[in-house]
Structure formats: structure tokens, C-alpha cells
Amino acid sequence: MTSQEGQLPEGVGRKWRQYYDSLRASIKVLVVDDEPVVYRVLEAIMEGAGFAVEVAESAEQALEMIERRSYGLMITDKNLPGMSGVDLIARLKETKTNLPSLVVTGYASVESIASALAAGASDYVTKPFDIEHVRKRATSIIDRNLLTRLYDRIVADLTDSFMESGDQRERVQRIGRELFAFKNSLRKRPDVQVVAAESGPEMELAEYLRGAGHTVTVEHAKEAAVANLGGDQSPIASLVSLQVRYPVSLVADLRRWDPLINVVVTSQSPNLLDALAAVEAGATDFFIQSVERPEALEVRVRRAIETSRRDRLYLKLIGILQREAAEQGWEIFGDILELVPSDHREYLERLVATERQTLPDIDVDLTDLFDAASDAPFEERRSHKRSSATEVEIWFRPLDARGGFARCWLRDLSLGGFFMRTDLAPPRGTRIEVQLLMRGDPPSEAVALTGRVVRNEIHEPDPDMLSGSGVLVQEEDQRKLEPLIARLEGDEQT
């Protein structure tokens, strides 16, 4: 494949592989613990998994190290001298430092779990910990983030090449209509299917998940659980009790019928052997009832649901872009299949074999495509227009940059994101920190957010200043936009 205008560069698959390998090789893990026996064990575990490791013996030392260099994961003890591990995570969250974290705690109380997860921890393990348990938890966090960055790169490269080949708006609208219809179909499916004995303790866990806001279905037999897959009401994730008959075989069958169903297995025994056997068969996570609390289960199930939905959406987008590429004679599908994990490969192959849907001819905006918080039905989403925001000033710069902020004005704003008018558009995929300020407001009223550039528009000539960037707002920051949007909508009504 040549590198002509409007085409992908030659050897793009090899470059994607090099990008992923370089990302993984660059990952450094920061271990924060004041006990040499503990941090040496954690250091050995992560070095054995192939990652470089650095150690800080206090939260204060960790903050200094994070200021100087980048890490892919932080493993911190909850109880540290001075600032605690939970306070350390909260401090990083306050400063918009995007660092996934695994908390090590001496006991699994409701309070310790809740405080760690509320502060922003990705997961936790309890002492005394099992070496394989820690390795699985830590590498799972790292791999999830690496795969998302790889998919961002593939989508950006494909999208940029299409934009160079002309007919931008028609293509973007066609892709957007298909993606939003697909996202709406995911929203209508049950969150999780629980597979357990009728009188087992897992029935209480099912009720707990319902109470946490999840849509839950329950099956007691392997055949019925597998039969639910593949249709419009196929669950996004599954919770499987290791006390049912042939649980490992059931996990394998669930994953065979739906390669992207995330399966969390639950066991009453503290012995990890059965849980790890289920992981080898395709389970994505496990929950040990005898040592962990239901709060931890809800976090893992919620993560399984969100990850499965996001993976399905990413792969749907990649599948659509691949189809568009094939129509232009670009042979890239083999390159993509070589890059992705086997379950994603199988899912992609099924997607590509599916016929294109007939969709309504309506305008869509791709800015909040991956916005998990905006899960209103497709029809309702289109009835809520984005608010005009030409009176909102924005100051922005790349995340973790040490330089000054660039200044411009918004065009429009929604809970999912915004479009800023600028001729200094950051590259697609750039994570930025921003300050939003309504015209005439004092600087103390500025709204601080973190976002990611998801598209750029360039107009030449541009007398009306239409060029700029669409930015997707980080999910935990979206509520900060509500007062500003309410003011804008109030101004529109008056």
C-alpha cells in the first residue's frame, strides 16, 4: 500500500504493532510501601511479569517521583506513615494525574474498600496476598489501558486517512448513525446474567447487584445460560458461581458463543486454584466470597460491564472503518486481526460478516460516542441539542505539560464534551486539561476539566472561525458541566 494522499501509509499494521510493543515496554510500575519485605515481594512479582519497577517508601516520596516521570500503574499500601495510600490516590485525582492504582490493604472491611475505590483506586488486594492474585490484578489493569490506547491509535489513523480522501461529512454521518444505533442496542441488553444454584448464596449477590442499579437475569443451568447468548437480550456480562456443575466448561462455552462477554466467577473457598482455572478458560475476573465484600464484587461486575460495552463499541467502529477502507481498496483487515487478542479477533470477524443496517437519515455528533454516562435511548439523545456556547472562554494545554495555556472560545457544549474554535488544534487523541469560564465571570468561577481530542475540523479559508477541535470530557468531570449548561440553556430561553 502506498502513502498517497487519502491512503494509509505502507506497513501500517507493522507500525501499529511497534506502537503497542513500545507502549508495553515503556510501562513502569511504582510500588509505594514502607515495609521492605512487602515492597520487595511486589517488586519481584511485577518484574517477573515483564515490567520495570521503582519503589517509594512514603506517599510524599511517591508524589515527587510521579512529578518527575510517568508510570503505567501504582501499587500502594493503604496504610503508610504520614499521608495514607488512599489520600495519595485522592491527591493524584485532584491534580488530574491519570495513574491507575492497585491498593493493598490489611483487612477487607466495607470502609477500607469503599474509601479506596471512592478515592479512585482501580482495584484492591488484601494481605496476606497470593502472588498470582496480585499479578493477575495488576497486569489486567495495565493491559486494559494499553488496549484502549492501541484502539485509539487505529481509529485515529483510519479516520485521518478517510478525512484526507474527501466527502468528510457524508462519511462521518454514515459512520455515526451506525455507531449510535449499535450503542442504543447495547443499552437495551441486560447488564449481567447470574448463573448459580437456586438456593446458593449467589442469589443474595444477585439482589445486591440489582440494588446497585444493574439489570440482572438469573439462570440455574448451563444450557439455559448459553441459550441466552446471541440475541437482542443477550447479557453484556455474566457472574458464574464455581459451585454450579462444570463451571470451567460453562465459562468456556459462554466465551465461545459471545467472545466479548466478560465473565466474573465467584467462589466460597479461599483457594484460588478453581478461580484461576476459570480465568484460564476465559473468565476475566474473580471474586472470593470468604475474604471479600459485596462492594468489591459490584466494582468488578461494573468494570466487566463497562469494559465489555466499550470493547464492543470500539470493535464496531474499527469494523466499520475497515469496511470503508475495503471499499476504497485498502487491504488492512489482516493487519488488524494480527494485532488484537483472540477474543476480539473472533468478534471482529463476526462483525465484518454482518450485513450493513438500514438506518434513519439524521445528523449525529460523534463527540460523545464513548460517553458511558449519556446512555439515554437513541431517539431521546437526538432530541437534546447541544447548547450554543460562544460566550464560554476556554484555556487549554496538553495534560502534564509544563508550559502555559492557549486561549480560545467554545462553539457548543454538552455533558459529553464540547467543540472549541482554535487554529492551534492539538492532534487527535491528545489528552488536555482545560479551564472553562463564562464571559464576564471572575477567574475563580472557572470550571476545571480533563478531556481528550476526538476530532479536528480544518476549514480553508475560514472567515467565520469554524476550525477547531471536538473534545470528549473525562467521565468523572461531566457533572461539573451541569451548572454551566443550565446557564447557557437559560440564556437561550430568554
Which of 40-49, 83-92, 282-291, 482-491 holds the top average pLDDT? 40-49
Whether residue 344 lies inside any domain: the answer is yes
Per-residue pLDDT at 155 exceeds 90: no
Q: Give dist(CA 340, CA 315) in Å, integer.
A: 10
Average model confidence (pLDDT) across the chain: 82
CA nearest to 342, candidates 96, 113, 97, 147: 147
| CATH code assigned at 133 | 3.40.50.2300
CA nearest to 124, candidates 146, 143, 108: 108
* Inter-CA distances, 459 with 364, 390, 467, Å: 20, 18, 5
Q: Within a 10 A sphere around the Cβ of 109, how many other Cβ atoms?
A: 13
Residue 189 has a pLDDT of 93
Across residues 54-70, what is the average pLDDT? 93
Q: Give dist(CA 209, CA 297) in Å, integer.
A: 9
* Inter-CA distances, 7 with 164, 324, 338, 432, 471, Å: 8, 12, 20, 28, 25
Shared domain check, 131 and 157? no
DSSP string for residues in 433-477: EEEEEETT--GGGPEEEEEEEEEEE--SS-TT---EEEEEEPGGG
Per-residue pLDDT at 3 exceeds 50: no
Q: What's this model's pTM, rounded to 2 decimal places? A: 0.64
Q: Give dist(CA 151, CA 249) in Å, integer.
A: 31
Q: Give dist(CA 155, CA 42) in Å, integer.
A: 35
Shared domain check, 431 and 475? yes
Helices (H), 5-107: 12-26, 36-48, 59-68, 85-94
Higher pLDDT, 443 or 172: 443
Shared domain check, 161 and 70? no
Whether residue 367 lies inside any domain: the answer is no
Residue 278 has a pLDDT of 85
Shared domain check, 63 and 173? no
Three-state DSSP state, 236: coil
Per-residue pLDDT at 160 exceeds 50: yes
CA nearest to 251, candidates 284, 282, 215: 282
Domain stops at, among 277, 309, 341: 309
Q: How crowded is the C-beta side of 81, counted as CA atoms within 13 Å?
A: 6
Domain stops at, among 309, 341, 364: 309
Question: What type of residue is 153?
Answer: R
How many structural domains compose the chain? Answer: 4
Lowest-pLDDT range of 219-223, 269-273, 476-480: 269-273
Per-residue pLDDT at 436 exceeds 90: yes
Residue range of the domain that includes 170: 149-184+312-353
Whether residue 364 lies inside any domain: the answer is no
Query: What does the block give as the cell for 118?
Result: 471512592
Residue 277 has a pLDDT of 84
Shared domain check, 209 and 153? no
Cβ neighbours for 448, distance < 8 A, ≥ 6 positions apart: 96, 433, 434, 435, 480
Whether residue 7 lies inside any domain: the answer is no
Whether residue 5 lies inside any domain: the answer is no
* Confidence class for position 356, pLDDT limits 50, 70, 90: low
> Taken in order 36, 41, 43, 44, is the CA torsion positive or negative?
positive
CA nearest to 301, candidates 385, 240, 369: 240
Please identify which residue in the block is written with the cell numbers 492551534: 424
Whether residue 370 lies inside any domain: the answer is no
Residue 433 gets the label, from left (phi > 0), alpha (psi -120 to 50) or beta, of beta
Residue 114 has a pLDDT of 59
Across residues 159-170, what is the average pLDDT? 62
Shared domain check, 180 and 329? yes
Q: Assess contact for 449 and 473: CB atoms under 8 A.
A: yes
Shared domain check, 283 and 162? no
Lowest-pLDDT range of 57-61, 146-150, 236-240: 146-150
Q: Give dist(CA 452, CA 157) in Å, integer.
A: 16
Vertex 344: Cα angle to 340 and 347 (nearest 5):
140
Task: Tell me what percent of the residues of the chain surpass a pLDDT of 70.
Answer: 85
3-state helix, strand, coil in the chain (%, to 5): 45, 20, 35
- The string of pLDDT tens digits covering residues 246-263 is 999 999 999 999 999 999
Shared domain check, 328 and 284? no
| Residue 384: its H or E element | none
Helices (H), 95-240: 110-119, 131-164, 168-187, 202-211, 222-227
Q: Give dist(CA 300, CA 264) in Å, integer.
A: 8
Whether residue 8 lies inside any domain: the answer is no
Across residues 147-164, what is the average pLDDT? 78
Antiparallel, parallel or unpaired: β 417-421 and 468-473 = antiparallel
Shared domain check, 412 and 475? yes
| CATH code assigned at 478 | 2.40.10.220
Shared domain check, 475 and 451? yes
Q: Give dist(CA 342, CA 354) in Å, integer.
A: 19
- The string of pLDDT tens digits covering residues 365-422 is 444 445 443 333 333 333 335 788 889 999 999 887 777 788 999 988 988 889 899 8
Shared domain check, 137 and 21? yes
Shared domain check, 298 and 236? yes
Q: Assess contact for 284 and 262: CB atoms under 8 A.
A: yes
Whether residue 82 lies inside any domain: the answer is yes
Task: Tell me what percent of the residues of the chain surpass a pLDDT of 90.
Answer: 30
- The string of pLDDT tens digits covering residues 297-314 is 888 898 899 889 989 988
